[in-house]
Structure 1
Amino acid sequence: MNPIALVFLALGVSLSSATLGIDTIAGISTSGFQCLKSNGYWFYIGRVGQSNGGIDNGGIQNIKNANAAVIAGLGAVDAYLFPCHSSGCASAKQQVINTVNALHNAGAKFGTLWLDVEIYNWGSNMATNQQFILDMVAQCKSMGVTVGIYTNNNNWSNIVGINWSGVSAYPLWWANYNGQANFNNFVPFGGWGKPSIHQYQGDVKGACSVGNVDMNWYP
């Protein structure tokens, strides 16, 4: 299987045709993840770095619970960082350090750390924003962490400029809530010719009494 397929969660479909996935900040127990697996789910992406600069310990616990369920057949487990840009926030590199160290200190194993780039408290200076992203990526690399970028055309255009391609070498998790589990409406931007994942729907009620989830698709 293509390694990038290890970023998703299967939901009632054959892996030979497509892989559907979810991400959520809702709390899930180990038995909950085992239930999700029995209902066709395959992967979990947990929030760790929060937009207020804090660490989501609930997300870390979810990752640990998901890892326990991996033994029972659940797929791999990833994490994401929603960076903080308010006054008093740590530097881009320090936010990555804080996030990765929190995971390591808790014994929470993860695959890719996705960097969430969406319109929320970013400054108006695109060059500064570009450097912030480059600094986050550089820190991930220096810590041996696999990195990916979560964003979409509109966010990218407003934050760093639609044609800035400084991190196009890394996989793209494309957020576009058009309700279509495909890449058909993707318009290239930021140096990406196509996404690796499409987050196509948000706030869907999850199985196994899990709270609201976002739906993702991978071919």
Structure 2
Amino acid sequence: MKLWSLLCAFIFFNVFNFGESAFGIDISVSATVAQLQKFRSNNTFFIARIFRSADLADPIGVGNIVKARQAGFTDVDGYIFPCSKSCKKSAITQVTEALNGLEAQNAKIGTIWLDIEVPTAWPSDVTANRKFITDMVNTAANREYSVGIYTGKSHWEGICGSWTQYSSYPLWWTRFTNVADMITKWESFGGWSSPTIHQYADTLTAYGLGYDPNVK
């Protein structure tokens, strides 16, 4: 009986905790193909920044997407970190420039993630913030890109309040639990009942490259 219990526990732990987990990285600095090949040995997905909060498109990130494909990644996404306060460019222009940069380099991605974080970097007007996000989503969707939201509970509620408009969109959840799972310290918000990806720790370094670790 004891042996049977141990066997059941082993099966449960492996199937339900690690059996379907995939690991990946996101970066915002220049990487080489050789560096990304090393990450590819134990990661299956890759996400690069393609627009900076400085109100500028990010050609380095676009280059990283191309190099990630060359390194063997097939699950490749991009994220837009928008300029959301005191900016010269509208939400529509920012997303347009980011996507134009991708297409100019034939950089293929699966999902474009919209980075919604740091409430102090956004206006205090929740209604205006919601419109800004809607403009970003619609601009990407109108160009037939799949869209997801990168955020955390305190970020989303500090920027958007209790808004649930995009709860049907995939959520890339950021909370530094230092646990590579989807449930530790998870709390529902924004209408999401679970995340699609979890960024579970702050920046780490490996192979001479700073990166953020993720699981899905």
SS at match of 2:201: strand
Please say if residues 77 and 109 of structure 1, whose CA atoms lie closer than 8 Å, have aligned partners that are also in contact. Answer: yes
Residue 49 of structure 2 corresponds to residue 47 of structure 1: yes
Taking the TM superposition and a 5 Å limit, the aligned residue runs for 1:97-108 are 97-108=96-107
Please report how far the alpha carbon of residue 88 of structure 1 lies from its aligned counterpart in structure 2 after TM superposition. 3.8
SS at match of 1:216: strand
What 5-or-longer segments of structure 1 have no aligned partner?
1-13
| C-alpha distance in structure 2 between counterparts of 1:214 and 1:66, whole Å | 15
Residue 211 of structure 2 corresponds to which residue in structure 1?
213
Residue 35 of structure 1 corresponds to which residue in structure 2?
38
Matched pairs, number? 198
| C-alpha distance in structure 2 between counterparts of 1:112 and 1:79, whole Å | 7
Please report how far the alpha carbon of residue 111 of structure 1 lies from its aligned counterpart in structure 2 after TM superposition. 1.1
Question: Identity over the aligned pairs, expressed in percent?
Answer: 35
Residue 5 of structure 2 corresponds to which residue in structure 1?
none
- Code of the residue aligned with 1:213 in structure 2: it is Y
Please report how far the alpha carbon of residue 33 of structure 1 lies from its aligned counterpart in structure 2 after TM superposition. 2.0
- Code of the residue aligned with 2:55 in structure 1: it is G
Taking the TM superposition and a 5 Å limit, the aligned residue runs for 1:82-101 are 82-101=81-100
Please report how far the alpha carbon of residue 124 of structure 1 lies from its aligned counterpart in structure 2 after TM superposition. 0.3
**Higher radius of gyration, 1 or 2:** 2
The 10-residue stretch of structure 1 (47-56 or 80-89) with the greater mean CA deviation from structure 2:
80-89
Please report how far the alpha carbon of residue 210 of structure 1 lies from its aligned counterpart in structure 2 after TM superposition. 3.7
Residue 146 of structure 2 corresponds to which residue in structure 1?
146
| C-alpha distance in structure 2 between counterparts of 1:141 and 1:17, whole Å | 29
RMSD of aligned C-alpha atoms?
1.6
Residue 81 of structure 1 corresponds to which residue in structure 2?
80
Residue 109 of structure 1 corresponds to which residue in structure 2?
108
SS at match of 1:201: coil
- Code of the residue aligned with 2:136 in structure 1: it is M
Please say if residues 24 and 43 of structure 2, whose CA atoms lie closer than 8 Å, have aligned partners that are also in contact. Answer: yes
- Code of the residue aligned with 2:46 in structure 1: it is Y
Residue 6 of structure 1 corresponds to which residue in structure 2?
none
Taking the TM superposition and a 5 Å limit, the aligned residue runs for 1:48-197 are 48-70=50-72, 74-119=73-118, 120-161=120-161, 163-182=162-181, 183-197=183-197
- Code of the residue aligned with 1:168 in structure 2: it is S
Please report how far the alpha carbon of residue 31 of structure 1 lies from its aligned counterpart in structure 2 after TM superposition. 2.4
Residue 9 of structure 2 corresponds to which residue in structure 1?
none
Over residues 127-147 of structure 1, what are the superposed CA-to-partner deviations in whole Å (9 max), with x where a residue is unaligned?
A: 110111111111111000111
SS at match of 1:202: coil
Which of 10, 13, 23 aligns to 2:26? It is 23
Please report how far the alpha carbon of residue 15 of structure 1 lies from its aligned counterpart in structure 2 after TM superposition. 7.5
Which structure dedicates a bigger proportion of its chain to helix?
Answer: 2
Please say if residues 26 and 210 of structure 1, whose CA atoms lie closer than 8 Å, have aligned partners that are also in contact. Answer: no
